Every structure is written in C-alpha cells, then in structure tokens.
Amino acid sequence: MRIVPFKYKYNMGEEMEMKEKVEKGAMGSTETTTKDKILIFGGTGYIGKYVVKASVSLGHKTYVYARPISEKTSLSKLQLHKEFQSLGVIIVQGELDEHEKLVTVIREVDVVIAALAYPQVLDQFKIIDAIKVAGNIKRFLPSDFGCEEDRVRPLPPFDNFLEKKRRIRRAIEAAGIPYTFVSANCFGAYFVNFLLRPYDQPDHILVYGSGEAKAICTIKVANDPKTCNQVVIYRPQTNVISQLELISLWEQKTGRTFKRVHIAEEDLVKQAKTLPHPENIPISILHCIFVKGETMSFRLNENDVDASKLYSDFQFSTIDQLLDIFLFDPPRPAIAAFE
C-alpha cells in the first residue's frame, strides 16, 4: 500500500488550543515592568498568526515582517493584514534578502520569533546575520515547533529535513544569540486528525507498525525568561498516547468499531527509499513518530525545560477534549507541504 503524502492545511485542535492561549494569556510568564517589543517572521502563516495575537493580548508592542502586498496576495492574507492593523500590530513589508531593512526593524524590538514554513527554514540565516549586526536582541526563537531534532535520528529523508533546522540552531549558538528552542513534538492535533480522519468518516484506520509506540499530542508556544538558552519540550502526560489507544478512545466516543489496517515497518522503510523527494519525507516522519516512537525515546536532561511543569497553571487541551471537538465539528483533512 502506498501512503499518500500530506500537505498542511487545517487543524482544528491546534486552532482551539492557540485561541485558548490568546484568550487566557498563556504564552508564558511575562510579568515585567516594561513589556518587550516582539518581531514575528511568518506572522501571517498558520501558526504565526496565533503567535501575533497572543503577543498583542499580553500587551507587547508587536511587529510583523511580511512579504509586500501585491496583486497575487490572497484575500485571506489581505484580511489578516487588516485584522492585525486593527489590533495595533506594526506590519513591515519586505523580503528576507533586504538586509538593511531587517537590521533596521530588528533594532526596534527586543525579541524575535520565526514561524516560517519548511521551505524558508534556511532563510533564517539572513535573520541571524541581521540580529548579529543589530546587536540588541534579548531572545530569538527560531522556526522549530516540531520534534527534538538534536536527539532523534530518523530515516534519511526526514533526517535531511531536520538537518536544516540543526544548522540554524548551531548558527544561533555560535553567534552567541540568546535563544529558546521549542520542541513541540510534531503538532499533536495535526497527527490525531491525520490518523483518525474524522471529517471523512472512514470505516478503517491505518496503523503504522505495531501501533504501540507513544506520540506526543500538544503544542504550546512559550516565551519566558526561565527558558533562555534552553530547549523547551512539551510532554504533558495526559497527551501521551499510542495509535491503538487513540483508536480505542475514538471508538468509545463514536460508538463505532474501526478496522485496523496495519502498515508494516518494512513497507514504510521501502517507500522512504523509493518515493521521490519530497514525497519520501512524510513517510519518514510517520516511521519516526509512530513506529520508532522517537519523540519519547530520550530523557529530558538538566538543560531541558518541561513546559507542562513550567506552566503548571495552564490547562493543556487533552486528547479526550480534542476528540470531543472532532466528534461534533470534525476538521477537514490535515495536510502538510514540504516544498
């Protein structure tokens, strides 16, 4: 069986959780006399737009560096620009190769957050260069928000994907830029949607490997003084669940019984070797998370910060709560793009 690659489009669970963060002010502890000014790259993207709204809700003067408006700009992007402006967000239009403009806007802020899509990951070198010249940034959060790339070694297609992010991390460290690396463990609600496909209401569910490996199912974007020069990892215990456990819970919610169609590990490995790029990347991701269970394969060390313990007063959306949403308002198929 050939697995169809997925393109990221929509994720109800993540949207609900990010909205809760915006409403509750749960993006981290920011009790300071003077609020930091925050610049966000990729602020009009799926995750970025919620980071922008959260920054505004916490009282930060917020800047967004975005591509210039043109006749090709989508209506949704135009509407988002208007919404941001109504919130008081300062939108700076420019390209990432405009070095002097980058330096100028970075000198106006204290914190830089990148929420760029995978095809733009290496463009963060341009941001790093500008931060080095500006010399004033208190914290930089690069575009991570996935698995902990420094401690997983997946199949080559996914590893090559992660190597770009590792290069960005090493460049930040070498430059001496204060940072926080966020390991959100692969967008839990995204993968729950991908596995269960509630919108399609299938009579079967694909199980990758044995279905017993654990996957992490949550995302939280944090910015806190206690996380400076550390890795923030999200592992709320209520959201650690295997494929088989997830399917059983979904059966309880729906009152249905689903046929489990197992995809053998060797089939995934074969497809990762034979499919063309970038179709081989999502196959390798599925193997990493659901067959090898690599997001739970390592222990946290003294330099890691467990977000669920750091923010003990924040109520994470649980898998059980997410499935209740899927039951009554199923999201459209979740798909991700790698080019």
The dihedral through the CA atoms of 159, 164, 165, 168 has a sign that is positive
Choice among 53, 165, 214, 220 that is catalytic: 165
CA atoms within 13 A on the CB side of 210: 5
Q: Which amino acid is at 280?
A: N
Q: List, in sequence order, every residue forming a beta bridge with 92; answer none if it has no partner.
A: 65
Helices and strands in the chain, H and E counts: 12, 12
Q: How many residues does the chain have?
A: 339
CA atoms within 13 A on the CB side of 193: 28
E strand or H helix that includes residue 194: helix 188-196
Is residue 259 annotated as part of the catalytic site, yes or no?
Answer: no
Q: Do the beta carbons of residue 250 and residue 258 sit within 8 Å?
A: yes
Nearest alpha carbon to residue 242 among 183, 291, 298: 291
Active site residues: 165
